[in-house]
Amino acid sequence: MISNSGAPAAFRRGRFLIARRRGQSPRRRAPFINPSCTLSQTHRAPVFRITSFALPYNSGMNFITRRRALLSAFGVILIVLTAFFCCFFALGSAASQTQKPVVVLDAGHGGIDAGVRGTLTGVKESDLNLSFVRILQEKFEAAGFEAVLTRKTEAGLYGTTAPGHKKRDMAARAAIIEEAAPALVLSVHQNFFSDPARRGAQAFYLLGNASSKALACSLQSALNRMPECVKKTSPVAGDYFILKCSGAPSAIVECGFLSSPEDEQLLITQEYREKLASAILEGALTYLSSAS
């Protein structure tokens, strides 16, 4: 606080007149005069002393005002934080509600591993697999899925061609499937058999796995409804690594026999691949609707 232990009015008037005679501008009247000032103090020049950092008659109010201001600020911060977290969790909840189911589409083989080859044209299984997966990707995405592809190019997933490439390739596929946390896994291949008369698309499932078997049965039913599928068949059980990479229902579809000239003639056309992919989508959707 700044206080003025100043002089009485008569003394100030004298100083005023002396100042005017000397041609000086008179000292302006101090805003505050201490009424307890005695005559003995009047002979001293006004002294300004800092006695406190806060005015005594204001200090109580300042403390209350500061406390209120702090409480108000704290309240505002609390409200802002609450609103922020409410919005954050509401958006998170909305996002989880609109999250699309994930389907992993695995194009078998790739790179130096071409798979089997067509006896008629020499077409590589790896190329046909990738083409099928691309078509399936479009169809599943149009049906509201998020499609994750293990292999997106003609290259394999093994990195280098050093020994052990097949093992590395399968490990990379397994990692992609695991990370995707899919609702469904479909692996696409082409078949081959010593008898060229053997034809048709066929689904494979993991032996002892009920969801894998149910999915394969639904896929096979849809494939058997295709007029081109002349030999109606049943899904086949087996121990397949790609079907054990997640807990999601998983199946392999062998789209046809590249050892059959008739099947190969169909498989090399985009039109047939589109048709067969539609049957796979239909089978998958039927399974998912029955399983939910």
> Which positions touch Zn ion (CB under 5 A)?
108, 115, 189
The least distance separating Zn ion from the CB of residue 126, rounded to whole angstroms, comes to 8
Nearer residue to Zn ion within complex by CB, 130 or 215: 130
Q: Report H helices in the chain.
A: 9-21, 56-97, 125-142, 165-180, 210-224, 261-267, 270-291
In 198-213, which positions are buried (b, 16+ CB within 10 angstroms) versus exposed (e)? bbbbbbbbbeebebbb
In the chain, the N- to C-terminal Cα span, in Å, equals 78
Q: How far is the CB of 250 from Zn ion (least distance, A)?
A: 15
Residues 131 and 268: their CA atoms lie apart, in Å, by 10
Closest approach of Cβ 169 to Zn ion, in Å? Answer: 12
Least Å distance, CB 129 to Zn ion, is 7
Task: Give the strands of the sheet with 236-238, arranged side by side.
Answer: 146-149, 102-107, 184-191, 250-257, 202-206, 236-238
Nearer to Zn ion, 127 or 282 (CB): 127
Q: Least distance (Å) from Zn ion to the CB of residue 220?
A: 18
CB of 156: closest distance to Zn ion in angstroms?
12
> How far, in Å, CA of 123 to CA of 130, rounded?
12
Nearest approach, Cβ of residue 130 and Zn ion (Å)? 12
Residue nearest to Zn ion (CB): 189
How far apart are the C-alpha atoms of 191 and 117, rounded to whole Å?
Answer: 9
Whole-angstrom distance, CA of residue 152 vs CA of residue 275 = 21
Give the separation between CA 292 and CA 193, rounded to whole angstroms. Answer: 37
Q: Is 48 helix (H, G, I), strand (E, B) or coil?
A: strand
